Amino acid sequence: MTTTDVSSNGATALACALAEDSLHSGWPPPARDETGTLPLSRLRRVTGYIQDHLDQNLTLAQLGAVVCMSPFHFARLFQRSTGVSPHQFVVRARIDRALALLAAREPSIAEIARVVGFRTPSHFSTVFHRMTGTTPRAYRTGQIATGPDRGEESVR
């Protein structure tokens, strides 16, 4: 474990302890739209964390720590809140980021795969094809051929 990991874990533990103290300090519990879901503030926090760390290997333990929850409890509430599992959400976020990056000629597909968190370009291509119905190269070729201004006609 590096010094950064220790200080990061220490900060997370401190944040969790402070959150726990505030629960017992007489403050009202956080408002929820639906029982058994993540409060909106925690959902925003974890989805922002996912977007900021797509290039890293994200585990349930890490994501749960962001919102001061056990991995199992976090996964269950995240699924109820979003309708998809944390893993499906992360993969979809990675593919969405890749779609945006593929609209330009640079960087290479292999670099995009790395930037959005896939270990190999092959795995990236497989997942991309499964989710979009086309390969990254075919998608890029289509995007470059149509250009940003030649796509669907805008309604004016």
Q: Which part of the chain has CATH 1.10.10.60?
A: 89-146
Q: Which two tokens stand for residue 102?
A: 């593929």
**Between 22 and 139, where is the model more confident?**
139
| % residues pLDDT > 90 (the chain) | 63
- Whether residue 116 contacts residue 124, with contact meaning beta carbons closer than 8 Å, is answered with yes
Which residues, other chains included, contact 124 with Cβ-Cβ below 8 Å and sequence gap of 6+?
98, 109, 112, 113, 116, 118, 136
Average pLDDT, the chain: 80
Quickly state the pLDDT bin for 29 (edges 50, 70, 90).
very low
**Between 104 and 2, where is the model more confident?**
104
pTM of the full structure? 0.71
Quickly state the pLDDT bin for 102 (edges 50, 70, 90).
very high
Quickly state the pLDDT bin for 134 (edges 50, 70, 90).
very high
pLDDT at 3 over 50: no
Lowest mean pLDDT among 23-32, 46-55, 86-95, 100-109: 23-32
- Whether residue 94 contacts residue 54, with contact meaning beta carbons closer than 8 Å, is answered with yes
Topology at the third CATH level for domain 89-146: Arc Repressor Mutant, subunit A (1.10.10)
**Between 31 and 116, where is the model more confident?**
116
User: Taking residues 7-21, what's their average pLDDT?
Assistant: 49
Q: Write phi, then psi, for 32 (nearest 5 degrees).
A: -130, 140
